[in-house]
């Protein structure tokens, strides 16, 4: 009986994992014959679980749609993954979410078999998180904004701008975008008649009056956030052509630092900063050939920096002849 009960739980786990299984697939996964699979399916139906079946060579089994679906079951790998993610979420900078994660983690710990519980505990004890907890986002902002995005409902809230000025906003919320440190709302601002990005930790007093709207088209909300983070707020906005594929440049440049766009066999990289020296340093770190298209101040800064470095290293006993001059307007 114990073996049968365990097999039924395993069968439920398999049926939850994907929409449909054939009889032979279930028999192989369970290590039994097709007749045993049919008997086990009947046992589940007798227990009230809606398992639909279709005969024939292309038939199979799947969980039916209804209110009597079984509780979520996880295999060892899935349980381990959920426990680890919940443990990380419990330390995240989202007040309210970490409390829910801790409660779910405690419940999961009680349900895990001892050997998995010990593995999860060992993994947590050996892990150090480098997540920044300095910018908490209250759940009472995230939840109504997420619901408004999903239901296409107009939202009203107070917003503190980058310069500290308080404003009232009426928006059509579109998507929530999570970065490494913060959450952003992408929305159409009805008063400014344009798309805007809002840091969720600067949003307060969210109200959703209940008015619905037809969503406007926006191809890439993630790119809009990346441009708002990496380019828009800064004094200098650089456009750089990099002699490398976009995938390679994206691997070296975080989305919080620059926006990458394929341009033929090369890449256009857009970055922003208040400091030319910082931009020059980040471009040098790429270790790729590049050409600064704008601004002119950055080109001049790179030329002056290059001359200064060559002079300094010639004085220090470097090569007697300077290296060949790069083509005009290029740096590498």
In a domain, 322, yes or no: yes
d(CA 41, CA 21): 12
Provide mean pLDDT across the span 295-320. Answer: 82
In a domain, 247, yes or no: yes
Provide mean pLDDT across the span 1-18. Answer: 76
Using the Cα atoms of residue 159, residue 165, residue 167 and residue 171 in order, give the sign of their dihedral.
Answer: negative
Report residue 57's pLDDT band, with 50, 70 and 90 as the boundaries: low
Ramachandran quadrant class, 315 (left: phi over 0; alpha: psi -120 to 50; beta: rest):
alpha
- Our count of domains for the chain comes to 4
Q: Are residues 210 and 282 in the same domain?
A: no
Q: Are residues 28 and 119 in the same domain?
A: no
> What integer pLDDT is reported at residue 133 of this predicted model?
45
Q: Are residues 183 and 110 in the same domain?
A: no
Q: Are residues 177 and 116 in the same domain?
A: no
In a domain, 226, yes or no: no
Provide mean pLDDT across the span 133-144. Answer: 65
Q: Are residues 215 and 235 in the same domain?
A: no
pLDDT above 70 for 130: no
In a domain, 134, yes or no: no
pLDDT above 70 for 178: yes
> What integer pLDDT is reported at residue 274 of this predicted model?
86
In a domain, 111, yes or no: yes
d(CA 256, CA 18): 36
Q: Are residues 282 and 319 in the same domain?
A: yes
In a domain, 277, yes or no: yes
Q: Could you read off the pLDDT of 96-118 as tens digits, one per residue?
A: 565 566 566 666 666 677 777 77
pLDDT above 50 for 332: no
> What integer pLDDT is reported at residue 291 of this predicted model?
92
Residue at which a domain ends, from 42, 63, 84: 63
Provide mean pLDDT across the span 180-191. Answer: 86
Q: Are residues 235 and 324 in the same domain?
A: yes
- Higher model confidence: residue 201 or residue 232? 201
pLDDT above 60 for 325: no
- Higher model confidence: residue 18 or residue 312? 312
Tell me the DSSP string of 94-124. -TTHHHHHHHHHHHHHHHS-HHHHHHHHHHH
Q: Are residues 159 and 113 in the same domain?
A: no
Q: Are residues 171 and 105 in the same domain?
A: no
Report residue 219's pLDDT band, with 50, 70 and 90 as the boundaries: confident
Question: What CATH number has the domain bearing residue 38?
Answer: 1.10.10.10
Q: In the chain, pLDDT over 90 holds for what percent of residues?
A: 19
Cβ neighbours for 316, distance < 8 A, ≥ 6 positions apart = none
pLDDT above 60 for 197: yes
Q: Could you read off the pLDDT of 63-84 as tens digits, one per residue?
A: 876 545 566 666 677 777 777 6
In a domain, 175, yes or no: yes
> What mean pLDDT value characterizes the chain?
79
pLDDT above 70 for 272: yes
Least trusted range by pLDDT, from 41-55, 184-198, 218-232: 218-232
Taking Cα atoms as reference points, which of 142, 200, 204 lies closest to residue 168?
A: 204
Question: What CATH number has the domain bearing residue 278?
Answer: 3.30.70.250
In a domain, 23, yes or no: yes
Provide mean pLDDT across the span 286-305. Answer: 90
pLDDT above 50 for 1: no
Three state DSSP letters for 129-180 = CCCCCCCCCCHHHHHHHHHHHHHCECEEEEEECCCCCEEEEEEEEEEEEECC
Provide mean pLDDT across the span 142-168. Answer: 88
Q: Are residues 174 and 237 in the same domain?
A: no
CB 204 within 8 A of CB 141: yes
Question: What CATH number has the domain bearing residue 161?
Answer: 2.30.30
Least trusted range by pLDDT, from 117-126, 169-178, 238-247: 117-126
Q: How far does CA 21 lie from the centroid of its chain? A: 31
What domain range includes position 268?
Answer: 231-331
Using the Cα atoms of residue 33, residue 35, residue 36 and residue 40 in order, give the sign of their dihedral.
Answer: positive
């Amino acid at each position: 009986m114990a073996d049968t009960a365990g097999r039924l739980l395993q069968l439920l786990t398999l049926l939850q994992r994907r929409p449909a299984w054939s009889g032979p697939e279930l028999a192989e996964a369970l290590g039994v014959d097709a007749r045993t699979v049919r008997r086990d399916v009947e046992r589940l139906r007798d227990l009230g679980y809606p398992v639909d079946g279709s005969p024939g060579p292309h038939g199979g089994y799947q969980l039916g749609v209804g209110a009597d679906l079984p509780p979520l079951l996880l295999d060892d790998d899935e349980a381990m993954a959920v426990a680890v993610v919940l443990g990380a979420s419990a330390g995240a900078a989202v007040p309210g979410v970490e409390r829910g994660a801790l409660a779910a983690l405690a419940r999961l710990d009680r349900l895990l078999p001892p050997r998995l519980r010990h593995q999860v505990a060992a993994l947590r004890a050996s892990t150090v998180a480098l997540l920044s907890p300095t910018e908490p986002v209250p759940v009472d902002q995230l939840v109504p904004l997420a619901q408004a995005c999903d239901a296409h409902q107009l939202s009203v809230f107070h917003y503190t701008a980058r310069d500290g000025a308080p404003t009232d906003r009426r928006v059509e919320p579109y998507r929530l975008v999570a970065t490494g440190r913060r959450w952003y709302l992408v929305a159409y601002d009805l008063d400014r008649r344009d798309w805007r990005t809002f840091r969720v930790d600067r949003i307060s007093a969210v109200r959703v009056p209940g008015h619905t709207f037809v969503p406007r088209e926006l191809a890439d909300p993630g790119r809009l956030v990346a441009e708002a983070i990496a380019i828009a707020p800064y004094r200098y906005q650089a456009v750089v052509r990099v002699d490398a594929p976009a995938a390679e440049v994206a691997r070296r440049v975080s989305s919080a630092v620059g926006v990458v766009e394929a341009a033929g066999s090369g890449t256009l990289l857009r970055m922003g900063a208040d400091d030319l020296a910082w931009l020059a340093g980040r471009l040098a770190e790429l270790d790729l050939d590049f050409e600064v298209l704008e601004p002119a101040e950055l080109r001049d800064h790179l030329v002056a920096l290059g001359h200064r470095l060559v002079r300094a290293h010639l004085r220090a006993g470097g090569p007697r002849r300077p290296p060949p001059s790069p083509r005009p307007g290029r740096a590498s």
